[in-house]
Every structure is written in C-alpha cells, then in structure tokens.
Structure 1
Amino acid sequence: MAGRSWSESRAKKRIETRLKEVPFNDLEIRDYVRDTNLADIPRTVAYRVDGVHLYADILNLRDMLEVTNVEGETCHRRTLRFLNLHYRAVHRILQRVDALFVDFHNQRLHTVVTKPYDSATNRTHRAVAIAQLIIDVLAETGEDADHPAAKVRVGIDSGEALAVSNGRRGHREPLFLGEPANHAAKRAAGGKAAGIYLTNGARLEIGLTEAANPDTTPLTTSEIQTSQEKAKLGVSADDIVKEWKDDLDKNPIGSFDFSGHTPPFSTLDIETLSVKNSRRQDAATVYADIDGFTSYVGANIQSDDGAKHVLRALHVLRSELDAVLNIDFAGRKVRFIGDCIHGLLVEGTAQTTDAQETISNMVLCAGGMRSSFKLAKNMLNEDGTDADELGVAIGFDYGPMTVTRLGIRGQLVRCSVSRGVLAAEGEQHRCKGNESAIGAKAYGEASEAVQTVFGSTRKRADLDYQTALDELTAKNDRAAKVSKALATAGALKPVTAAAAAPTFPARPVAPTRLDGFS
C-alpha cells in the first residue's frame, strides 16, 4: 500500500520558494495594446485587457456520457470523438475571426474579443456575431446519431480583466481574471436553454434594455442580426463547415485507444497523450476552486499595487494546491481553469484500482489542500499581500475517468471527461470557501470511516489534513493509518516507487499519429 501524507514543514518550504518567485517589487502590470502577444506571459507580468468575454457551453455533453447504462469504453469513445469534432471546428472559427483563444475545458470554451480596440460597443457586436457563428457551425458538425450536432449556450460580458500566465513547462496559455470572465461563464452556465445570453452591462453596451433576469433572456433573432450586420465577420458557417469537412477527409480523427496508467498519476506525462494514446481507468477526480477570487480581483484591479497582490496571491495559492496534489499525494493536475485546479488521483494497478485506498487518499489530499491554503494565506499576509477574504471550495468524486488531448496538432488541449468529472465539478459548486464535498459514487465506494467523516450530506466544513487524518485513523481507515505511521516514524516525504524497479506506464497501445490532426 502506498503512503501519502501532508507535512506543514514541507508545505512551508514550498510556499517560501513560490513567494521568492514573485517578489512584489519585481512584478509589472502592463496595459494591453494593439497586437500584444499573450501566448507566453512571464510569471511576473500581468496585462490589463479591456475586452469582451465569451463562454460557450455544449449542453448535450451529459447526454453523450449517459448514452449507455454502464459508463464503459463505448460512451467515452463517443463523447471524446463528439468533443474532438467540435473542438476542431471552433478552433477554425477563432482563427478566421481573430479572437483570442483562452481555454477549452471539456464542454466549455472561453474566448476573448479585443478588436476593434477603440470601441467596446463594436467589440460586443462582434462577440455576438462570433457566438452565433459558433452556434451555426456546431449545428452542422455532427456526424451521425452517435455523434450528434452540439447544442450550445453562450454567455457574454464586457469589461477589464487581468491576463496572466496559466500553467508552465510547455502547457502555457493566457488566463483572464476578473468580473467579465466570471460573469460570462455564469451566463453560459445559467440554464439549460440554448441561445446567446448577455449580462446587463453587455446589453447596455449595444443599446439594449436591461433584462429582469439575464439568464432567461436570450438575444432575439433580430438583435443577433443587428450585431452580425455591424460586425461584418467576413466568414460564413458554410465556409467553416466546408473547411472542417475537408480537413476531416485529409486528417481523420481515428478511433480512441485506451490503456490504464500504472499508478500513481504523478508519473503520467499528459503532453504525450493523443487519440491513439489515451488513458482510461477508475480513479478519483477533484476540483479545488479559490472562493472569492473574482471579488478580490475586482477590488484590486484598478491600481497597479492591487493588481500585483492579485498576481502574487494567484501564483502562490494555485501552485501550492497543485503541489499538494502532485507531490504529497502523487496525483496529477489536468489543468488550471481560472482560479480552480482540476486533477486526478489513483491507487492500485493499471488494471485494477483500489477504490477505498484511492478515495481515502483523496480525502486526505483535500484536507492537505485546505491546510496548505490556510498556511499560504498566512504567509502571504506576513509578506505584505492580504488574502484573508479568500477560501477554497473542494469537490471530488470517483469512477471511470479518461485523460487525453484533443484538437489540432500543435494546439492540442488536455481533456479529462466522464460522469465523475461532471459530478466532481457539481460537488465543488455546492461548497462554500471552507467546505469540501464528496460525490455520491465516491461515497458509496468509500470506507465506513470516510462515510462517517462526511455524513449523510456528503459535505464537511473546515476539514483540514489533521482533522481528516485523526478521524479516519480513529475509524481504522487503512490509508490514513499508513499516512499517520509515516508521520510518527518521521518519514515525512511521500513514498514513491523504488528507483531501480521497472515501471510500465501503460498497457500496449497503437502508435501515435505524427502528422495532421490528432
């Protein structure tokens, strides 16, 4: 049995290192100007960007995952192909309309419109026209009953946000922090009806009246047509669909080939994954979101000093959440999504997951995240950056998980999608900044000790590492007893596989395509 543990002294050393990477006096806040390259922003730099944020949610993703009663390879293959078809179409749209690609996270696209630079009104009209183009194209990019057209809901807001670097080591993309990104995302996630939904601020930008409830007030056909006429995108849905079909003929996606990864996930190199080299196995997945961060950005973005504190807080807090997952508990970050981290954790073998050990270690990991988050806030405060108002909301679940990369070669995006992934995100959303929640599937598979910790509500406030460790150990949880024994013996470093032992990261798979699309 693997031993995973959290140590305050180890966490403190990491946080001290992160603080040294972003000394306040070395940070720089710049204004975004014409054609600024946001592809590789230095860690110590943030840009103020006045733009229009567009989030597009694919509403029928869950339908794809639930096409079969059992969550087996069939529904995962169909879902990943479904996403890949639409990712490739949307990439083509964004290239043609000169919009900034920010992120694809499973069913959710985030893009930013910064042109024309001198008119927020015209930018908003352009964003509406782009949104309708996405809707029209994805209505035509289904293949068959197994891979239908996507049903899309778009949220849009306009305003100033901070652009910073997201990720590291070959997986870097711009991240936008602030109210317009957050509000656009909320409008996209605000209901099950398709259409284009603007915040009242964005509605006023293009001369529309405020809506009593923006989440139930989609733009009308005539309002969309007005924006299309003003934007003059110069490309039609027919153009995009034809190019998309031509590319599929020349560079077919192929069949998804799955293998299991030999635990732990910390040894998985996601940047080597592709359609022909994907992973699938029972595992735990977690979402840990910095609660209150949008308000924190809004309160600090207008001054350079305030924006510098935002940059420091984000870097230190997110990095430490990642370190707890990856270093202390041998899990793997899939990606940062704004101020949230999405990750995976597994114990057992490539063929057989130890469900109870995986879930118990996930509980301890969530406790370690909360303990590290509190420690990092205190150390930020001591170093001059007030982060007292921030919290962390943690949700996780268990079940068959996938991890791969989709899209266009050279611009592949990480993807881990399953019923459990959607459930974990839902668990995170029902938490406040001091709460952790376990999904129904994980709760049912967990040890009696884990079930006792979370109770019938499957949610627990202030569950830090020591509390989780003590309560699980008191109920004779196997994984917790191993972790406690490590601490008692003074072995504070996480146990890893012996260096001399052979490792088998995956069962045999077909070779990866080296040309064209993945």
Structure 2
Amino acid sequence: MSKSWSHNRAVEHIDKKIADVKDITVKDYVRDMSLESIPTNVAYRVDGVHMYADIQNLEDMLNITHVEGTDCHKRTLRFLDQHYRAVKRILNRVDARRVDFHSQRLHSLFTKPYNSDTDAELKRVQRAVATAKLMIDVLAQTGDDDEQIPAAKLRIGIDTGLALAVNNGRKGNREPLFLGDPANHAAKLASNNSAKGIYLTNAARMAIGLTEKDAPEKAALTNEEIKDCQDAAKLDVTADEIVEEWREDLKNNPIGGYQFTRQTPPLCDMDISTLTPANSKRQEMVSLYADIDGFTAYVAEHIDDNAEDVVRTLHVIRAELERVVTSDFQGRRVRFIGDCVQALSCDGTAHTTDEQTTISESTRLAGALRSSFNLAIERLNAKDYETGELGLAIGFDIGPISVTRLGRQGDRVRCAIGRKVIESENRQCACSGVETAIGQAAYEAATDAVKDLFGKTRKIANLDYNEATEALADKGDESAKQARTEAYAGAPAIILADNREVRPYAITTAGESDNS
C-alpha cells in the first residue's frame, strides 16, 4: 500500500478533534499556576515578557566544510549543546523559563512579578534586558578552541504583552506554547538581520521609559540603556560565575562524542525521546515546514473576546497536520514551533535514501497537508467557530540532516540540523498562505514530473492532494501512479447509463466525484 490521503479518514479525525475541544476554559494566569502539562481544553492568558535569542553563526558552523559531512554536523551539534547548557543555567538563575530551543533560536519568558500593572511590566522588561546582556557576555566565553567551537554571536529581540498559553506537544514532550503578538514580534526582531545586539519592540521600549522608534529593528539598545536595566534588575549572578559553573558542569557531565546511525524508513518509527549524542540519527531526508499563515493576527484579534475559538482552531489543525505527516505519509514530526509544524520525510532502505521517491512523496505530503488544512477550516466553520483568514505556507528541501537531543540527562531538547533544514524554513517563510515551495536541491534531484509541477519559480499556489497526485501520475511519476492505482481500486463503483462500471479516483480523495 502506497502513502495516501483520504477525505473520509481526514473528516473522521478532524470531527473527533473538534469534539475533544468542544468545551474550552480560558483562565487568567496568576502566581502558583503551573504551565506544565496544560490540558488540551484549557488555555491561560499570560501577561509577560518574551525574549528570543538568535545564534547568528549557526550557518557558519554548518558551512565550516565544503561538503556537508559528519564533521560539520558534529561540530554544530556540540556548538549548540554547549551554548544551550550555558543559557539554560542562566535562565534557572534569573527565574525565567525556557519555552523552546529550536536550532539557533531560543525562546524564553519572564512572568515575575505577576501583576499586570505598569510597574510590574517595567520590572519584567528590565530583567529581560539584563538577562539578555548576561547571555551575550556568557556565550562570548563558551567557545572551545580545542574542538573548533566558536563563541556564539547573538541578536536578541524582546516584546511585552498578553499571550495565550496552551499545551504544546504530545505524550512525554508536553510544554507550554505561547500564541500572540509578544512572542511573534520578539522572534521577528531577533531574526531580522545580521546586526548583533538587544532590540526591543516599541511596546517594550515604552514600558521602560524609552522613546518609540520608526524602525525598532534597527535601534539596538545603547550600552547606557542596557546598564540602566542591569542596575534596576540587580541580577544575583555574574557572567564569570555562570561560566565557571558551566565549565565545572561540562567536566562532570561531558557532552560525549556524537555517533550517527541511519533510521530505517519509515521515519514515523524513529523514537526521538531515546536519542543522545552517542545515539543520533543522520541521513539524506526531506525537511518540511508547514506554517499557519495569519495566525498571529488572528490571535491578536480574538484573544480578549473569543480566545476559545483560537484554542479550538489551533489544536484541531495541528493534530490533523501531525496525523497526515505520521500516519498517512509515515514521516516524523520533529516539533511544533508556535503555529508551525517541522517534519521529516524519507523513503529508501536501511542503507540508502531513494531521493526521487522521497521528493515525490514529500510533494504529495505537502498537497495532503493543504487538503487537510482546508478541510479542518471547513469543518470548524460548519460548527460556527471563528477561524479568521488563515492559510498554510509550506516549504521543503532535501539534504543530510542529523536528529538528536541536546542537554544533560533529564533535561534534553530535540534538535534536527542541516543546511537544508534552514533552507526549507526559508522557503516556507517566502510563501503566502496558499503557496508551497521546493528548495533548489530537491528540485534538481526530483523527477521531471515534480519539476514540471513547480516550474522555474519552484513555487506553486493551491497545491492540494488531488492536484499533486494527478499531476505527478499523469507525467509518469511512479509513486503517484501507484497511489492513484490503489485509489481507483478502492473507490466505490458507479454504474453509468450504458451499464459501464467506473471507479472515480476523486471520490476517495475529495469526498465527491468530479464526473457528471
């Protein structure tokens, strides 16, 4: 049986998920509330300061060698591991929480003091700025010349305001996810361009008495402005103390050598929760990002008057996208990054990746994700739930990718790195909410059918499962032809007026026949 998407399967799963979130409770977050393991039908309104720290020289590490072999991946993972340990130690000492550490991007949150008044917000922003400076100072010292690990170059973005905290993840990988303007704006500031420094949105600037800027992404805090925040925050730790503790921790809990083995396809069998440096995975595979376009604006519009529908929409769409990746196409969801799904796909054997099949199946996977997304919106709207003007932006590419977990035993975070991981995210970011884009490497290695589908721009609008499968099958793509043949065989027969029997392919994939 080939990988395939079914309208009926999708409807059944989406309707079940809608029923699971029929009753949603939204609470205001106050002291002593736990953000761990938030139930699916609960969300918290959290007033806090969000900080994103972007390590700007990750790509330099991945490109340290001409060929993307194991050496550059090992150094990059060690680079990330060392810096993650240092940053986690800082956050523990300043009473902030790590939200996510996604490759080069660290998201953290400051909620104390808990009050919603302007004085509490002032103190939170000052503490975030002081912590950002501490991170910069510490990570400037946490390189390793012997291992050819450079110091990290940081650009940090900070915003303040109200966000929705919901459950992020499945089973043993549960942690809070924050939806809304402050997390999104801080992330955009951090990843804006190559200039280092600490950058505040106008909301955060005003909270600490600074003037607004027409282009806050170009207005790094001055040394004097940072010093004022440090003096006010009075952090009870110095960079030298953190570095000394970090070095001692590395000595007592060494990272260990990275060892790679291949994951025999299908990737859905990969248990990321068991991976360690000595048990990491690496092979040629597709990295795919699918981002819910327009979601931040949708959250901002409804966070006060209809947060319940925001929570419903997010959980239903994400659960269905994950099902398509893991169940329909036997891929592996790496993580949810806000309203974005990061996934991996690979076809082949224990020894080799079948690149053309992997790319063809990933093209059809992208189409299936859009079909399920559109269907989820349709089913939510049928229940009179408000879904705003959302879309799905998809980008993917193929190349060597390493999958592991960083950090110490008991405090590890999952990580998938590779040049094409970065490129697939870049391709997704360049898409509108109706577009799917393929990276240059995947395009060059693809079948002629895939190349014809995406064209010279390597981007296509409104690519759903039917179109992807039919277009590829018509051009002789073997994966798509097999899927179409099996769909024909399983479709219910229709008896025409002349007693001929037909089995329209569209019935099993779109719920109704296009034949009339």
Q: Could you say what secondary structure the match of 1:3 adopts?
A: coil
Q: Could you say what secondary structure the match of 1:67 adopts?
A: coil
Q: Counterpart of 2:59 in structure 1: which amino acid?
A: R
Pairing of 1:26-425 with structure 2 (within 5 A): 26-118=23-115, 119-144=120-145, 146-303=148-305, 306-425=306-425
CA deviation digits over 1:203-250, x for unaligned, max 9?
Answer: 111111111211111000000000000001111111110010001111
Q: 2:456 and 2:217 mapped to 1: Cα distance?
A: 32
CA deviation digits over 1:479-510, x for unaligned, max 9?
Answer: 11111112112189xxxxxxxxxxxxxxxxxx
Give the structure 1 partner of residue 508 of structure 2. Answer: none
Residue segments in structure 1 that go unaligned for 5+ positions in a row: 493-518
Q: Counterpart of 1:456 in structure 2: which amino acid?
A: K
8 Å contact from structure 2 (residues 449, 477) kept in 1 = yes
CA deviation digits over 1:72-120, x for unaligned, max 9?
Answer: 0000000000000001111101111110210000000000101122311
Q: 2:261 and 2:488 mapped to 1: Cα distance?
A: 37
Shift of 1:36: 1.6
Q: Is residue 2:456 matched to residue 1:456?
A: yes
8 Å contact from structure 1 (residues 99, 113) kept in 2 = yes
8 Å contact from structure 1 (residues 4, 329) kept in 2 = yes
Q: 2:235 and 2:350 mapped to 1: Cα distance?
A: 49
Give the structure 2 partner of residue 476 of structure 1. Answer: 476
Q: Could you say what secondary structure the match of 1:425 adopts?
A: helix
8 Å contact from structure 1 (residues 377, 388) kept in 2 = no
Q: 1:39 and 1:62 mapped to 2: Cα distance?
A: 33
8 Å contact from structure 1 (residues 22, 312) kept in 2 = yes
Q: 2:358 and 2:485 mapped to 1: Cα distance?
A: 18
Q: 2:195 and 2:35 mapped to 1: Cα distance?
A: 33
Give the structure 2 partner of residue 499 of structure 1. Answer: none
TM-score, normalised by the number of residues in structure 2: 0.93
The 1:246/1:430 distance shift into structure 2, 3 A limit, reads same
Q: 2:177 and 2:106 mapped to 1: Cα distance?
A: 13
8 Å contact from structure 2 (residues 436, 459) kept in 1 = yes
Give the structure 2 partner of residue 16 of structure 1. Answer: 15
CA deviation digits over 1:115-157, x for unaligned, max 9?
Answer: 1223111110111001111111111110116211100000000
Shift of 1:384: 2.1
Q: Counterpart of 2:36 in structure 1: which amino acid?
A: A
Shift of 1:403: 0.7
Higher relative contact order (CA 8 A, sep 6+): 1
Q: Could you say what secondary structure the match of 1:407 adopts?
A: strand
Q: Could you say what secondary structure the match of 1:33 adopts?
A: coil
Q: Counterpart of 2:69 in structure 1: which amino acid?
A: G
Q: Counterpart of 1:21 in structure 2: which amino acid?
A: D
CA deviation digits over 1:24-46, x for unaligned, max 9?
Answer: xx211011101321011111110
Shift of 1:408: 2.3
Q: 2:160 and 2:388 mapped to 1: Cα distance?
A: 28
What is the CA RMSD across the aligned residues, in angstroms?
Answer: 1.0
Q: Counterpart of 1:59 in structure 2: which amino acid?
A: Q
Shift of 1:386: 2.0
Q: Counterpart of 1:470 in structure 2: which amino acid?
A: E
Q: Could you say what secondary structure the match of 2:192 adopts?
A: coil
8 Å contact from structure 2 (residues 58, 104) kept in 1 = yes
Q: Could you say what secondary structure the match of 1:297 adopts?
A: helix
Q: 1:147 and 1:83 mapped to 2: Cα distance?
A: 9
Q: Could you say what secondary structure the match of 1:436 adopts?
A: strand
8 Å contact from structure 1 (residues 5, 486) kept in 2 = no
* Count, aligned residues: 487
TM-score, normalised by the number of residues in structure 1: 0.93
Q: Could you say what secondary structure the match of 2:411 adopts?
A: coil
Q: Counterpart of 1:133 in structure 2: which amino acid?
A: L
Q: Is residue 2:467 matched to residue 1:467?
A: yes
Q: 1:13 and 1:486 mapped to 2: Cα distance?
A: 21
Q: 2:124 and 2:265 mapped to 1: Cα distance?
A: 47
Shift of 1:201: 1.0
Q: 2:489 and 2:101 mapped to 1: Cα distance?
A: 44
Q: Counterpart of 1:380 in structure 2: which amino acid?
A: L
Residue segments in structure 2 that go unaligned for 5+ positions in a row: 493-516
Q: 1:169 and 1:487 mapped to 2: Cα distance?
A: 33
Q: 1:434 and 1:388 mapped to 2: Cα distance?
A: 15
The 1:213/1:388 distance shift into structure 2, 3 A limit, reads closer
Deviates more, 1:426-435 or 1:31-40: 31-40
Q: Counterpart of 1:62 in structure 2: which amino acid?
A: E
Q: 1:16 and 1:476 mapped to 2: Cα distance?
A: 35
Q: Could you say what secondary structure the match of 1:416 adopts?
A: strand
Q: Counterpart of 2:143 in structure 1: which amino acid?
A: G
CA deviation digits over 1:426-476, x for unaligned, max 9?
Answer: 000000000000001100111110000000110000000101111101110
Larger Rg, first or second structure (1 or 2):
2
Q: 1:296 and 1:388 mapped to 2: Cα distance?
A: 6
Shift of 1:350: 2.2
Deviates more, 1:46-55 or 1:28-37: 28-37
Shift of 1:388: 4.6
Q: Counterpart of 2:112 in structure 1: which amino acid?
A: K
Q: 2:388 and 2:469 mapped to 1: Cα distance?
A: 25
Q: Could you say what secondary structure the match of 1:204 adopts?
A: helix
8 Å contact from structure 1 (residues 281, 350) kept in 2 = no
Q: 1:126 and 1:36 mapped to 2: Cα distance?
A: 21
Where do 4+ consecutive residues of structure 1 move more than 3 Å? none
